[in-house]
Amino acid sequence: MFLVIAAKPGSVYLQDSVRTHDKGPSMKKKIAIVLYDGLASLDVTGPADVFSAATMMLAHAGRDNEGYDLSYQGMTQLRVKTASGLSFCVDGSIGSGHPLDTLIVPGGPTAEAISDSVPFLAALKRDAEKAKRVVSVCTGAFLLAACGLLHSKRATTHWLAAERLAEKYPDIRVEADAIYVRDGRISSSAGVTAGIDLALALVEEDHGPLIAMEIARLLLLYRRRPGTQSQFSTPLATQTNSVGRFAKLCLWMENNLTKDLHVDHLAERVAMSPRHFARTFSSETGISPARYVEELRLGHARELLESGAVNLGFIAQQSGFGREERLRRTFQRRLGVNPRHYAEHFHNNEGSLP
């Protein structure tokens, strides 16, 4: 399988000089994934496949001593049953206190209930204290919070559980819309596929962006998403919240980003006064018309950058920003990064932005 990847144009990492590295003592990073009954299987298998792919790629490149050693740890049972009915084997015990490079705590429907288990939390905390990095996936954040590991830290979880996390642990700065959040040695992700995004970020930290990109290609991921990306796209969020009155208008806006989308013109399209339109649109969709238009344009600009477009003037025109400087300012204000650096999350220096 990896021979095909190595021969593929653009697969720089496996064709590089990495094969010249001498084998030596094992430098594989130890990762433990916590298992318990009722967890979400993808919260385990998603990150695990990312780390396993990295290990196989490094071995193919002649770096057998690098990569990751994965273990799956539970309390006393030899097997746990996931929420979907799959069974995972346990090959170690939580609370051994052995040094770890990364401890991963998945989420699932039972995570919040298990966060009240004193023995489980005590064992989890012992391992967390010995880990260089601690990671939660989805509602696994409740388990980290119950151990006190998120005290006064930034964190995220699945959008459905974010409000409950903030209410139960008001000292945590919950970023409900983020794909993943990293605060010191503690990281949290929104769950489901977001655990894959966070795992890719950790691989990039350990082995560089090229291998992370190769893994994304291998796993047929549409894109590598930065942690700042929203859990919801603007069109999806609006379709979810809208009762239908503005459905046609939203679709029209999405297909006409280069036109004048000022609130006066939008109100005219739906035969409403600008003031009444702005108030009703915000009430029914949860977002102001101006913010919605900016989100649409920002989303389209991001898609252009991710697909390989490099001319910022062209991107600004096509996405409706008009001027390049307006595009740059919006990226910096909304994402905390300029378009050049955003694009570098998705491309192996195949092009350069002006």
pLDDT single digits (tens) 318-352: 999 999 999 999 998 887 778 888 877 655 434 33
Contact partners, residue 296, CB within 8 Å, separation at least 6: 234, 235, 253, 254, 257, 320
Q: Which residue has the higher pLDDT, 307 or 237?
A: 307
Contact partners, residue 264, CB within 8 Å, separation at least 6: 274
Helix axes 234-241, 247-254, angle to 10 degrees: 170
CATH of domain 2-218: 3.40.50.880
pLDDT at 312: 92
Q: What is the mean pLDDT of the chain?
A: 84
Give the chain's radius of gyration (CA, Å). 23
In this structure, what token pair is assigned to residue 182?
A: 């990293």
Protein fold of 234-344: Arc Repressor Mutant, subunit A (1.10.10)
- Asked whether the predicted pLDDT for residue 175 surpasses 50, the reply is yes
pLDDT at 46: 94
Contact partners, residue 345, CB within 8 Å, separation at least 6: 224, 226
**What does the alpha-carbon distance between residue 116 and residue 268 come to, in Å, rounded to a whole number?**
55
Classify residue 349 as left (phi > 0), alpha (psi -120 to 50) or beta: left
**What does the alpha-carbon distance between residue 169 and residue 136 come to, in Å, rounded to a whole number?**
16
Phi, psi of 174 (to 5 degrees): -75, 125
- Asked whether the predicted pLDDT for residue 193 surpasses 70, the reply is yes
pLDDT band at 316, cuts 50/70/90? Answer: very high
State the average pLDDT over residues 179-208: 90
pLDDT at 199: 93
Out of 1-10, 132-141, 261-270, pick the least confident. 1-10
Q: What is the pLDDT of residues 133-150, one digit of tens each?
A: 999 999 999 999 999 999
State the average pLDDT over residues 154-158: 93
pLDDT at 126: 95
In this structure, what token pair is assigned to residue 261?
A: 């989308």
State the average pLDDT over residues 116-142: 96
State the average pLDDT over residues 79-102: 92
Q: DSSP letter at 28?
A: P
State the average pLDDT over residues 165-182: 91
- Asked whether the predicted pLDDT for residue 87 surpasses 90, the reply is yes
Answer for the pair 240, 233: CB distance below 8 angstroms, yes or no: no
pLDDT at 7: 31
pLDDT at 225: 57
Q: Domains of the chain: which residue ranges?
A: 2-218, 234-344
Q: What is the pLDDT of residues 239-262, one digit of tens each?
A: 545 546 788 898 899 889 999 999
Q: What percent of the chain has pLDDT over 90?
A: 57
Answer for the pair 256, 248: CB distance below 8 angstroms, yes or no: no
Q: Which residue has the higher pLDDT, 36 or 76?
A: 36
pLDDT at 6: 34
**What does the alpha-carbon distance between residue 216 and residue 116 come to, in Å, rounded to a whole number?**
36
- Number of C-beta neighbours around residue 82 at 10 A: 23
Which residue, 281, 196, 278, 191, is CA-closest to 231?
Answer: 191
In this structure, what token pair is assigned to residue 199?
A: 């795992």
- Asked whether the predicted pLDDT for residue 25 surpasses 70, the reply is no
pLDDT at 224: 53
pLDDT at 333: 86
State the average pLDDT over residues 94-100: 88
State the average pLDDT over residues 64-74: 94
